[in-house]
Chains A and B, each alone.
Chain A
Amino acid sequence: MTPGEAFLPIERDLQRFKEIVRGEVKKRAREFLTREELFGQVEGRLVSIPLPQLEIPKIVYGEPLGEGLGLGGPGDEALGPGGHIPVAELELEEFLDLVGEALRLPRLRPKGEGEVTEEAFRYTTLARKGPRGLRHVRRTLKESLKRALLSGEYRPEVPLLVPEPEDLRYKAPKKKPRPHAQAVVLFALDVSGSMREEELRLVKTLSFWITLWIKRHFPKLERRYLLHDAEAWEVSEEEFFKAREGGGTRLSSALLLAEEILKAYPEAFYNRYLYHFSDGENWQGDTPLALEALKRLLPSLALYGYAQVEGPYGRGQFFEELAEALGGQEGLALAEVRGREDLPRALRQLLGG
Chain B
Amino acid sequence: MKALLPWIETLRERAQAEGLTFPPVLFEEVGPEEMAMLAAYGGFPRRYPHWRWGSEYLRYRETYRYGLARIYELVVNTVPVQAYLLKGNTLLAQKLVIAHVYAHADFFHNNLAFKPIPKDMLSEMAHHAAYVERAMERHGARSVEEFLDLVLSLENLIDPHAPYIQRPQEEEVPKPQDRLRVRPYLDPYVNPPPEPPKEAEEGAKPQALPPRPTRDILGFLARYAPLAPWQKGILEIIREESLYFAPQAATKILNEGWATYWHTRLLLPLLTPKEAVDFAEMQAGLLAPHGLNPYRLGYLLLKEVEERWDKGRFGPEYEALPLGERLRYERPTGEGQKKLFQVRTVYTDLNFLEEFLTPEFALRHRLVSPEELPRFAEAKKALLFRLTNAGYPIVELVDANYQNRGELLLVHTYEGVELDLRKTKAVLENLHRLWGRPVHLKTVVNGKETLLSAG
Which of the candidate stretches A71-79, A174-182, A254-262 sits at the interface with the other chain? A71-79
Q: Counting CB contacts under 8 A, is A122 at the interface?
A: no
* B:99-158 near A, CB below 8 Å: 145, 149, 152-157
Q: Counting CB contacts under 8 A, is A223 at the interface?
A: no
Determine which of A14, A59, A72 lies in contact with B383 in the assembled complex, contact meaning CB atoms within 8 Å.
A72
Q: Counting CB contacts under 8 A, is A325 at the interface?
A: no
Which of A12, A58, A67, A78 has its CB near the most chain B CB atoms (within 10 A)?
A58
Which residues on the A side are within 8 Å of B418 (C-beta)? 61-63
Beta-carbon contact of A69 and B376 below 8 Å: yes
Q: Counting CB contacts under 8 A, is B208 at the interface?
A: no
Which of the candidate stretches A16-24, A238-246, A345-353 sits at the interface with the other chain? A16-24
Beta-carbon contact of B423 and A60 below 8 Å: yes
Q: Counting CB contacts under 8 A, is B59 at the interface?
A: yes
A10 to B386, CA, bound (A): 32
Which of the candidate stretches A1-9, A283-291, A294-302 sits at the interface with the other chain? A1-9
* B:23-69 near A, CB below 8 Å: 31, 33-34, 37, 40-41, 45-46, 49-55, 57-59, 62
In the complex formed, the residue of B with least CB distance to A55 is: B423
**Chain B residues touching A, majority SS:** helix
In the complex formed, the residue of B with least CB distance to A76 is: B291
Which of A16, A20, A61, A75 has its CB near the most chain B CB atoms (within 10 A)?
A61
A181 to B155, CA, bound (A): 54
Which residues on the B side are within 8 Å of A89 (C-beta)? 58, 62
Determine which of A54, A62, A75, A79 lies in contact with B386 in the assembled complex, contact meaning CB atoms within 8 Å.
A79
Beta-carbon contact of A62 and B291 below 8 Å: no
B446 to chain A, nearest CB (A): 11
Beta-carbon contact of A62 and B419 below 8 Å: yes
Q: Counting CB contacts under 8 A, is A314 at the interface?
A: no
**Chain A residues touching B, majority SS:** loop
Q: Counting CB contacts under 8 A, is B225 at the interface?
A: no
A185 to B425, CA, bound (A): 49
Beta-carbon contact of B292 and A14 below 8 Å: no
In the complex formed, the residue of A with least CB distance to B151 is: A56
In the complex formed, the residue of B with least CB distance to A1 is: B33
Known A-B contacts A60-B393, A70-B366; the reply to A2 vs B33 at CB < 8 A is yes
Determine which of B55, B57, B289, B379 lies in contact with A54 in the assembled complex, contact meaning CB atoms within 8 Å.
B55
Which of the candidate stretches A80-88, A145-153, A203-211 sits at the interface with the other chain? A80-88
In the complex formed, the residue of A with least CB distance to B378 is: A68
Q: Counting CB contacts under 8 A, is A127 at the interface?
A: no
A contacts with B, residue count (CB < 8 A) = 41
Q: Counting CB contacts under 8 A, is A235 at the interface?
A: no
Q: Counting CB contacts under 8 A, is A57 at the interface?
A: yes
Which residues on the B side are within 8 Å of A14 (C-beta)? 53-54, 57-58
B185 to chain A, nearest CB (A): 21
In the complex formed, the residue of A with least CB distance to B155 is: A58
Q: Counting CB contacts under 8 A, is B437 at the interface?
A: no
Q: Counting CB contacts under 8 A, is A65 at the interface?
A: yes
Given A68-B382, A89-B62, 12 extra CB contacts under 8 A: A2-B33, A5-B31, A13-B52, A16-B54, A56-B153, A60-B423, A65-B417, A66-B382, A67-B382, A69-B379, A70-B362, A80-B391
Which B residues form the contact surface with A (CB < 8 A)?
31, 33-34, 37, 40-41, 45-46, 49-55, 57-59, 62, 145, 149, 152-157, 252-253, 289-294, 297, 362, 366-368, 372, 375-376, 378-380, 382-383, 385-387, 390-393, 395, 412, 417-424, 426-427, 430, 441
